[in-house]
Amino acid sequence: MPQVKIIAKNFMDMVASLPAMKLDKLYENAFICEAILRSLPPLAKKYVIQMLYIDVPITAKSMEEWVFPDGSSMHRVAIDRLIKLRIFTDTADRRRETTYRINPTFQTNLQKLLTLGEVLPREPMPSDITVRLPSLEDLEVYALEQWECFLLQLINSAQAERPSNISSSMMRILQRGLLSQREKGAPRLTESVFQFLLMDTNAQLWYIIREYISNSEERDVDPADLISFLLELSCHVTGKAYNSNTLTEIQKSWIKDLTDLGLVKLQQGMNESWFIPTKLATNLSVCLTDSSSRKQGFVIVEGNFRLYAYSTSKLHCEILRLFSRIEYQLPNLIVGAITEESLYNAFENGIAAEQIITFLQQNSHPCVAERMPSIPENVTDQIRLWESDLNRVERTPAHYYDEFPSRDVFEAACDNAREWNGLPWEDSKTMRLVVKAEIHMYN
């Protein structure tokens, strides 16, 4: 099975990949225009606001004067993002000078949004109908627990506190690259899953959402409709309750899938049911650089390769187990060691040394996070050295032969293998040889 390339992309990259006709149709909804605006890098937002009430094309040369010379790279990134999302259209006039103009549909709806106020796709339910809504703190804890249960289910951990009944739609997403299903056997983890588990939560979420959208056509769902609903969901207010009866049947199935990921929480009243968006949902349309605020780390690595993780999370323990030897676990402390054997296992599973080092640096405990470096240099150097040692040996599938009936037969076999460039080793004295497996079938 080919390895799936794991890339941490913004959700907006999926929006930009839509056909032009479907992308223009999205902009007919004001709340989607708002979500798109929120997703843009700061400089791109500035350009949209500046051109919002300009009805004539602006030359590229004029726009370059809007930034200082040292901001030219950010300028190009902003313009590229706006063109990919079809918020800006570029044309060349008679003098072959490039000009930019804002998408008229996007412009009109965003103007209405700014002048008439926010246009929500649906209003929150009254507080007298909904009872015992979780606080924002409780909702954040719920979202993280759901996400951890989802990941624990992924790595088939027996330590999950409660079963996570992942829907069939989500199981198909996992089997697209993170799980491999063998005949008459349980699903097994692929090499990609180890890279996936070392990502930060935002990158993991965007990977799953991107695959969920890419898989939508197999479920007879228009990707544009699903993207539109996810953008709509990102415009809701975190912690507010919204009536489930306002959803279509297909949207209810999407909400159920998103509950598995911790994006929404479902509750049932006496006569009504409702869904509550979490921060994971409302941050879907936020730029990666805006939403990736540093979380408090939990890992301390000492120069003797000892590892201390101050965490109560079972998921943290399972992730650390991917590249270290866990020695014992207390209620709020995981103690382990980074060993040559544990790292070789990690490398064999497709985890790179730089991924391990980056994970340890990004999750450094506050008491060591401000140090330069936060991970002892002898540890990071040794991790890289062990990886380079492993890469010095190249493995080639082959077949070993011995006990030839005569030297003539042995030499004929060697000559035949040489002709196919498939004789990596021979010992004429003991009449033994090794033949590459790729040519074995032809001889």
Contacts of 234 (CB under 8 A, 6+ apart): 35, 38, 281, 282, 283, 284, 285, 286
In this chain, the answer to whether the domains covering 30-116 and 398-440 adopt an identical fold is no
* DSSP-derived 3-state class of residue 297: coil
Mean pLDDT of the region 140-152: 89
pLDDT at 320: 94
CB count in 10 Å sphere of residue 226: 21
Is the model's pLDDT at 177 over the cut of 80? no
**From 24-33, 196-205, 347-356, the region with the lowest mean pLDDT:** 196-205
Would residue 133 be called left, alpha or beta, if left means φ above 0 and alpha means ψ between -120 and 50 degrees?
beta
Mean pLDDT of the region 397-405: 89
CATH class of 30-116: mainly alpha
pLDDT at 88: 94
Q: Which two tokens stand for residue 359?
A: 């994970």
Are 188 and 180 spatial neighbours (Cβ–Cβ below 8 Å)?
Answer: yes
Are 137 and 60 spatial neighbours (Cβ–Cβ below 8 Å)?
Answer: no
Split at pLDDT 50, 70, 90, the class of 304 is very high
Sole residue written with tokens 């060993």: 339
Q: How far apart are CA 295 and CA 274, in angstroms?
A: 30
The tens digit of pLDDT for each residue in 3-23 reads: 344 443 456 777 888 888 888
pLDDT at 210: 84
pLDDT at 119: 64
Whether pTM > 0.75 for this model: the answer is: no
More confident residue, 30 or 301: 301
Sole residue written with tokens 């926010």: 118
**From 72-76, 136-140, 367-371, 388-392, the region with the lowest mean pLDDT:** 388-392
pLDDT at 299: 96
Is the model's pLDDT at 174 over the cut of 80? no
pLDDT at 196: 82
Q: How far apart are CA 383 and CA 381, in angstroms?
A: 6
In total, the chain counts a number of residues equal to 443
Q: How far apart are CA 169 and CA 215, in angstroms?
A: 9
Sketch the domain layout of the chain as residue ranges: 30-116, 136-290, 299-391, 398-440
Mean pLDDT of the region 381-410: 87
- Which CATH number applies to 398-440: 3.40.50.300, 3.30.70.2610, 3.30.70.890, 3.30.390.10? 3.30.70.2610
Reference 241, options 118, 386, 113, 132; nearest CA is: 132
Is the model's pLDDT at 291 over the cut of 70? no
Q: Which of 92-96, 234-238, 304-308, 399-403 has the highest mean pLDDT?
A: 304-308
